[in-house]
Structure formats: C-alpha cells, structure tokens
Homo-oligomer: A and B are copies of this chain.
C-alpha cells in the first residue's frame, strides 16, 4: 500500500513485515476513526483543523516505520537478542496504528464529560482484545499472541525499553505525528520540528543493568537542537491551539451539554437522539463495545442538532449556541489574579452577574484552569551521550531546556456568555476606578 500524506509525503507499507497494515486499515474499527476529528471542536478556531484520527493513525504508523529503520541502523551494537526483529517491528507499527482506536467522539472530550464510563485507553484495549472485532481477528490470524503484545506496547510496556519509548515516551511516534499534523492543518507553523534530524539523533543509552536493553538516548551536542525544537514546537501548539480560547470555550460548552444529557437520562427525562452508549454509561457505568463503536462525531452532532429543540430549555439553549458557533467568551486571569482568593472572587462576581441575567450560574460560568509543563525534567529519562562518553541530562547541557526545566505554564480563564462577559468587564473597571 502506498499513500500520499499531506504531512509525511509518500507513505508506504509494502514490505512483507508490514503486510498487516493494509489489512488492519480495512477493519471497521479503524475506518471509524475517519469520523472522529483529531482536534475535536478546534476547527471552530482554526478553519483548517478538520483532520481525523484516521490520518493520524496512518501517520503514527509511518513514523514508527521510520523509527524502526533508524533503530536498525544502530542496533548492531546490541546483543542479537535485543535487536529489532521482524516480529518486534510489526508489533510496534501495529501498536502505533491502533493506539487511539478507542477514542470517543470529539476525541478527549467524551470521556471527560462522562467520567463514570471507561476511559479511552480501556476502550482501545477492548477493541484489540475482544474476539468480536474485525481488528482482533486480523491480529490473531497473524499470531495469537499479537493482541496482548500490542496492548502492552500501547501502555508503554515492552521487554525492550527503547521500543516502549517509541510508543509511549517524551518523543514517541504519537507526539511526533500529531504535532506535525496539527501544525499543518491549523497553519500554526511554529508547531513544526525537524523529524529527520530527531531520528538521526537517536542512539542507544546506557543500560540500567547488564542484562537489560538500553533506553533511547540522544547523540551528543548535534542532537540537542532536535529535542529543543521538538519541545518548543509542542509548547507553541499548546499555547496557540490546544489552549486557544475558542477551543477551551467550546470544549466547556460540549462538556456542559453532555453533563446535562447525563442528568436528564438519570432523571428519566425523555430525550431523543441519545446514542445508546451514552444511556448505558450513564445508567450502568459501562457500555457494550458495539454501542460504543457506533459513536462518532456525526452521531453526537446529530444529537446536538436534535436537542436544540428538546423540552429542556438549558440543554436546548446550549446546543443552539454550539451548533450556531455562538460560543461563550473568555476572560484570562494574569499573574496577580491567579491566587485562589482572587479566582474565587472573580468567579463569584461573574456568577452573580449571570444569575441576575437569568442564567444558571453553575452552568453558564466556568473557571477553566489549563496547565502544561513544557519540559518535565522529572519524567524525562532521556539522556544525552557525548562522544567522550559523558552522559548528561538534556537540561544540564541545553541552554533552552535548562531555562524551561520543570517550569509550569498556566492559563486560567473565566468562561461565560458574551453579555455576562461585557457586564463583568464593566463591573471590574468600575471597581478599579
């Protein structure tokens, strides 16, 4: 199979080793990812951000095949039983391909809104391991042990730490693909980094014990810019896309909508167009795999469209706003306002305004706390190995990473309807004068 990908150009899965990839792509479970947007509602903010989890899955598998190529360029320094065999290569590419197969509609939002249900990682494992899925059947036809090995790899577990790193680590294939893909689709050029150079910079680290294979490491000073720029690309994407005010506001609205649906279902209120999986999760904390896999962006959007005319005024109003892209607005809190006291005071002020205007203050005013650690030195076990043999932590030898080490970025915002926001701003300015 040979494909054109807007991010990676020519993508091919043509070797015997990877003959399983086209077979997996033909399963309904992977095809379903065509109907789930990678960035949820972010196309409200970035009109080009309509790319799907399907394209990302193909991209992640492609990046993994490039990692494998690199690992094989350097694995001769390892004992032969620690090298990338055909089986290991195939396992890793399959893991990259299916790592997100359990995602619900609008990606991360669904599980956040229905926390009583299983998380997407659980669904991914079920899709891989359940004998009823076509995906499972393709896997076991190749090798009965494949589902279990793939599940483990998706969790970042493998006898070879370096292979586990590529599926789940600081520079794993998931991040490598989604950063480039999200940057390409949004047009936020800052999100790019040099994948070729990153791959070339990979080498094996020093093993923890003589019997264990090493983790991945970075090759000397030449490799530093690769991880610096990767780290910054990720930071820029967080600041500009994942934390974008319109994205956060629409996420907040969708979460409120699903919370309201849950409540109505719990209360036994009649409501059309509620997908069976949601009813199951709300009433029993779980759903059948078949019902879950029937969910996608389109099904949920059909719900939003229908609920605009439902009997519950709150749900109807929220859905009407979201479908019409009449989004809530935000007010960002800066340094001095980010004390718990200040946050409470501002939230209180906004809610009292909302209440006076006839809104349910708990639903119509939210406090959104987003947080990221651009370079988490504690978590990152990656080491830099110099020609002299010296082994250093990246933040010890990189000017940039040294300055970012374990620093926390916070974005805190009030989220509310435009009219509440306007009155809130007026009240604040009055208070200030």
Contact = CB atoms under 8 A, between A and B. Distances in A.
Contacts of A12: 200
Interface in A316-352: 323-326, 332, 334-335
> How many copies of this protein are present in the complex?
4
Nearest to A43: B34
B2 A225 contact: no
Interface stretch (A124-132, A171-179, A402-410): A402-410
A291 interface: no
A4 interface: yes
A232 B240 CA distance: 16
B400 A235 contact: yes
Contact of A10 (B50, B196, B324, B404): B196
Interface string A362-401: 0000000000001000000000000000000000110110
B229 A225 contact: no
B50 A50 contact: yes
Interface string A118-161: 00000000000000000000000000000000000000000000
Nearest to A301: B298
A230 to B, nearest CB: 11
A93 interface: no
Contact of A47 (B58, B184, B397): B58
Residue of A225, A229, A326, A400 contacting most chain B CB atoms (<10 Å): A400
A3 interface: yes
A359 interface: no
Interface stretch (A83-91, A187-195, A250-258, A260-268): A187-195
Given A10-B196, A34-B43, A55-B48, A186 B222 contact: no
Interface of A: 2-7, 9-10, 12, 26, 28, 31, 34-35, 37, 43, 46-48, 50-52, 54-55, 58, 184-190, 192, 194, 196-197, 200, 221-222, 225, 228-229, 232, 235-236, 239-240, 297-299, 301-302, 323-326, 332, 334-335, 374, 396-397, 399-400, 403-404, 407, 409
What 7 A-B pairs have minimum CB-CB distances, sorted nearest first? A6-B187, A6-B48, A298-B298, A4-B187, A403-B403, A47-B55, A10-B196
Given A26-B324, A47-B52, A298-B298, 13 more contacts: A3-B47, A5-B48, A5-B187, A6-B184, A10-B196, A10-B197, A31-B323, A34-B43, A50-B50, A190-B194, A232-B232, A239-B399, A403-B403
